[in-house]
Amino acid sequence: MNKRSIQSLNSQSSQSKKPKHNTSITASLHIKCFGSKNPVEFIDLEPRKPYTIGRDRGRCDYVFEHPQVSKTHCQLYFDDCTKKVFISDGVRVRVSLNGVFVDGVRVGKGESKELFAGSEVSFVCGSCFRVGFVVEEIVFSDSGLAYAGLLSRKCREILSSDDPVLYIRKCFGNVARCGSRNRVKSNSRFPPDNCIDLVSNAELLCCNVNGGNLEQLVNVDERVPLRECNSSEKRRDKYTCEVNVVQSDQVLKPRKRGVCVPPPGSKFYLNRLHFMDDGQLGSDEVNVTLPELLYPVETLERVFIATFTSDLSWFLSYCEIPAHLPIAVACHNAERCWSSCPDKRTLRPYSDFPNLVVIYPQFPETISFGKERKKFGIACHHPKLFVLQRDDSIRVIITSANLVAKQWLRVTNTVWWQDFPCGSVPDFTSLFAQSSTEEVNLNSKSDFAAQLAGFMATLLVGAPDQAHWILELTKFDFSNAAGHLVASVPGIYSPKHPYLSDSRHLLSGDCCTPRPLRRVLLGSVDASVVGISYLFRTSADSNGALLKRLAGVLGNISANAHGLLEVILRRNVNIAADANAVSIAVSESQESPGGGCIQIGFLPRDVAKWVAPLSDAGWFAFSAYIYPKEVLACAIEGSNNKAHLILYGPNYLNISKSGSPALASAMCSLVASIQRCSGLWRLHEILGHYKWPEHWETDFTFGSSSVGAVNAPFLAAFSAATGKRSSQFTESEESDPDWGCWSASQELRNPSIKIIFPTIERVKAATCGIFASKYILCFSQKTWLRLKHLSILHDAVPRSAGRVGHPMHVKVARRRFQSRTNSSSFGWVYCGSHNFSAAAWGRPLHNSLNSQANGVARSKSVLGSRLHICNYEFGIVFIVPPSERTYYNDNIHSDLDDIILPFVVPARRYRSTDIPATKFAMSRAYAELAYQEREKRVEVMNDEEELMDEEEELLEVPDTVVEEKEDEKAYAEKLWGSS
């Protein structure tokens, strides 16, 4: 039916066996135009009647004013038998000069192609600009209500106009004079009758708008801005209003869309594509839509969303979001995310949604290219996370779909969610993953909550008015979480500091007290000491007496086993330069902590701003440690090197039930600053302690829509992070501390991972054509040439037959083991936003300066001594662990095969002639298509996954000493001058 001409449809209707048309059904296309000077918002279609689109006002029903659009370019047709809308080229009008393209595929001469919600129609090919529209929604309604529908649509235009009366006189005056074809300047099409009645009723409505009696005639649910959230703030707002007209004293309300499937538990589901119904689903496939996940929206108290790209206007209207609902959306922006100014990283784009705030999370300077490069670093805010809070529960949704219509309606994505009940009392310890020992207790209920809170806090730290989210999480019980969260946060990470329990100087309240407090160590923060060189500079210490005194104190006091020396934190409440100032001093005697001490500097401003209020309020007590050699080096004249400070705490927990917004913001900053494992190291923290039987492994795959600049060291690091080990070692090698660890050399000899990615032939044969996949697939030619000889590429074939021909945007990894004593399988599965790239999971670094002097254990394994992460990512791991019951007992209670993957496994290995759908391969395919069509198409790359993939290898992290920033130095000098 996709390529049946309208002529054939008309000829069939004239045969003896005429189809029974339902003349009471009409169709309305809600569209979003691009490239036209006079955009159309709605296209109304009556059944069995062609509607012409072009630039000639006298001959077209809908006008697109652009010189590349033909006078009569194409036609739309609504078949009420099948309730389908078609677009054709060259049926009742001439074939267009520049063609009609649906999702990048040209409609043939005399043929028609079905349109769906999310379809992109283009009228121009072979140019760098785009002209056409995107179908946001197709609404079918009873023509008996057509009159009410017309009035509803005109109400939207009236309400958004600056002068409603003038608008009615101009617009509806044209309707009254429209003649036989009934066209209007706004290019909307109306029935030939009832024009005058419509004008009079609209005028009556307009009078009631000004008189405050609008609700007597219509029920306005919401007003939805149509501009993009990242668009220019100077653009004029346009709104659509969901208006329900009152007829027979009854308001016509939209049908509620409830959740029709149970939560997935320890597995995931897929999103329901726009064409699917229950008959097209497999026996074991469960699908869900975004409105179903949010239902009922009326009970939502607040919503948090993290995404890469977003179409907020579509989301607000498609999910029927109330205008008053508090919503925080964290998304990517190439410029705002690099800004150091918090005001530039938040935006409230819609006046009609006053509680909606857009947040652009900051990228740290540590991952930038440095002063010698004009470009920023390689970074991307790439998670797909929803947190829905209600009065009695909170829902966490982890998906691979961004907040745009196409990815929820036309592209396969994974979806997982779980509801967590309200706890009896707020549990503030759940925000911190560190337990009373050195290792994180992965079985405790705090692990899921702490990972969620820590990730959300890093996104919200630049939006103080949203910091209350972190305190809200303490109200809910996450102890029954179905999986383990894996987050990636941009930065360069070192191993977590050792656990220290012998602190004698604790900052509690507004003073440092030596008295013992209830010890609840919840984590550590890696900070620094600022202003050391100021006190010991030549002008202030001309004879070096103070420097000698400091050196003597640091030399006489012995450091602990980790090379750390405890210091004293003091609140400086009387310093005018900063009310939150916290000074750092070294005690001259370990035996008498209350004796003399030497002040060496201050906490950095961004650390003091949350340490001070939290300690002043009595919520926490903090202790701190330094490396003596670093402090002495910074005290020498001319040295701007940073002295690292390990801030431990909170050691004491006494949080009241309510706190000020300032305390909530300080709490958010603390939770964001606590050291946690990220990326590959977090994966190793979850999976590395299991003893996976290597000889029982059956499959190790990773399927994603993007493959970064990976190489053998990264492949080996990813495998080692998941617990893969080698048993092919000689006895003489057992003395090696990294004995058994997987290495890059072993990866080259025996590749461990199968990468699942579609071939270019599969993409070319897709139902939606190359254009649909071009916007979501990313694989550089350089990476393909590097991996080709490893033979690890496998074709990505959708598991469900109904999804074949449609792109997949999933990011799923699985390592499977098969028991030899029974048929059970075990292992783990990951799903989320991480693509298979070092930017997402982290690139291990092996060069580390002063690692031994700092006293921190440094691993020489393939996982590196440091980890460089570029992206914000978020996902979840489901584990069916190896156990004696799994090995030997036939009555097992779980099986890894219960988690259905979105692609066929085992996947078919690439043949010698296969190549992946790389950027280069798709460009060549486009060139071939352009040649066949005798037209030239200029490539436009604007997708989320195509973010400097070729340049990912250019970034090298030098092993240099981190210097004190100029603003930190100036801040410390102000404090010294005021103290």
HEC per residue, 114-169: EECCCCEEECCCCCCCCCEEEEEEEEEEEHHHHHHHHHHHHHHHHHHCCCHHHHHH
Query: How many other CB atoms are there within 10 angstroms of residue 152's CB atom?
Result: 17
Given the structure tokens 């440690």, which residue do they identify? 625
Given the structure tokens 């947190």, which residue do they identify? 387
Low-confidence spans in the chain with pLDDT less than 70? 1-24, 37-38, 125-129, 142-260, 278-284, 370-375, 433-446, 501, 514-519, 538-539, 590-595, 637-641, 657-658, 727-740, 847-860, 884-893, 930-964, 979
pLDDT of amino acid 148: 53
Question: Which DSSP symbol is given to 403?
Answer: B
pLDDT of amino acid 651: 81
Question: In 256-379, which ranges are continuous DSSP H helix?
Answer: 290-294, 312-318
Dist. CA 42–CA 226, nearest whole Å: 13
For residue 233, give Cα distances in angstroms to 225, 311, 395. Answer: 12, 15, 33
CA–CA–CA angle 878, 881, 884 (5° rounding): 160
Question: Is 274 considered catalytic here?
Answer: no
* SS3 state at 421: strand
Dist. CA 414–CA 869, nearest whole Å: 24
pLDDT of amino acid 22: 47
Dist. CA 414–CA 401, nearest whole Å: 7
Category of 59 on φ-ψ map: left (φ > 0), alpha (ψ -120 to 50) or beta: alpha
Q: pLDDT digits over 728-749, tens only?
A: 544 444 444 455 678 888 888 8
For residue 623, give Cα distances in angstroms to 525, 581, 927. Answer: 11, 16, 64
pLDDT of amino acid 743: 83
Encoded tokens for 119? 């379809």
For residue 722, give Cα distances in angstroms to 726, 741, 787, 815, 899. Answer: 13, 11, 21, 9, 18
Dist. CA 859–CA 864, nearest whole Å: 6
Query: How many other CB atoms are there within 10 angstroms of residue 695's CB atom?
Result: 7
Question: Is 66 considered catalytic here?
Answer: no
For the chain, the helix, strand and coil percentages under 3-state DSSP, each to the nearest 5: 30, 25, 50
Catalytic-labelled residue, pool 73, 332, 381, 382: 382
- Crossing angle (nearest 10°) for helices 146-160 and 195-211: 50
pLDDT of amino acid 728: 57
Report if pTM > 0.85: no
Question: Which DSSP symbol is given to 4?
Answer: -
* SS3 state at 242: strand
Q: Are 75 and 88 in contact (CB under 8 A)?
A: yes
Given the structure tokens 């202030």, which residue do they identify? 540
Query: How many other CB atoms are there within 10 angstroms of residue 587's CB atom?
Result: 21
Q: Known binder of ligand: residue 384?
A: yes
Dist. CA 530–CA 967, nearest whole Å: 10
Of 448, 415, 411, nearest in space to 263 by CA: 415
Catalytic-labelled residue, pool 66, 505, 684, 809: 809
- List of E strands, 754-794: 754-756, 778-779, 793-794
Dist. CA 809–CA 758, nearest whole Å: 11
Encoded tokens for 362? 């900051």
pLDDT of amino acid 832: 97
Of 805, 776, 711, nearest in space to 922 by CA: 776
Q: Are 332 and 380 in contact (CB under 8 A)?
A: yes
Q: Are 408 and 426 in contact (CB under 8 A)?
A: no
Query: Mind listing the domains of the chain with CATH numbers?
Result: 25-161 (2.60.200.20), 269-436+443-482 (3.30.870.10), 497-658 (3.30.70.2330), 680-726+739-846+862-884+894-924 (3.30.870.10)
What separation, in Å, do the N-terminal and C-terminal C-alpha atoms of the chain show? 81
Q: What would you measure as the largest C-alpha separation in the chain, in angstroms?
A: 112
Q: Known binder of ligand: residue 20?
A: no
Query: What per-residue string of b and e applies to 161-197 under the rule 16 or more CB within 10 Å gives b?
Result: eeebeebbeebbeebeeeeeebbbebbbbbeeeebee
Residues in a beta bridge with 779: 707
Given the structure tokens 């007597």, which residue do they identify? 216
* SS3 state at 313: helix
For residue 267, give Cα distances in angstroms to 270, 417, 830. Answer: 11, 9, 9
